[in-house]
């Protein structure tokens, strides 16, 4: 069973930065696909960024140039660096893991960006 715990969310003014962390346990982390998705109130869950076991990254157009995803296999962690935050980035951010073909999700961390 994979466990994912997100941290680093909070409230920030527009233009500010936050760094989200996701700590994974119980998985073959280095071999896993990891991603961040977000869900704003009343909206569908939206893909944000992903990183493969080969460190290939993919960033959604809505955050490209502002967000960066990275991973530390020694720490079993994945990070989302968010810069130049906008009010429309306000959402609950979830960590997603695909381990051996199975999908796992964290509990989410709230990010609130005020104008």
Whether 11 has a pLDDT exceeding 90, the answer reads yes
pLDDT in tens, 66-82: 999 999 999 999 999 99
What is the C-alpha to C-alpha distance for residues 69 and 87, in angstroms, rounded to an integer? 20
Whether 85 has a pLDDT exceeding 90, the answer reads yes
What is the C-alpha to C-alpha distance for residues 69 and 84, in angstroms, rounded to an integer? 15
Contact at 8 Å (CB) between 99 and 46? no
């Amino acid at each position: 069973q994979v466990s994912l715990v997100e941290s680093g969310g909070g409230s920030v003014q527009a233009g500010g930065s936050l760094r989200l962390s996701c700590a994974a346990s119980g998985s073959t982390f280095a071999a896993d696909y990891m991603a961040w998705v977000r869900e704003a109130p009343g909206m569908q869950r939206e893909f944000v960024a992903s990183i493969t076991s080969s460190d290939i990254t993919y960033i959604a157009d809505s955050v490209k140039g502002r967000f960066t995803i990275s991973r530390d296999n020694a720490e079993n962690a994945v990070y989302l660096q968010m810069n130049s935050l906008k009010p429309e980035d306000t959402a609950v951010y979830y960590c997603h893991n695909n381990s051996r073909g199975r999908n796992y999700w964290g509990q989410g961390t709230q990010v609130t960006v005020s104008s």
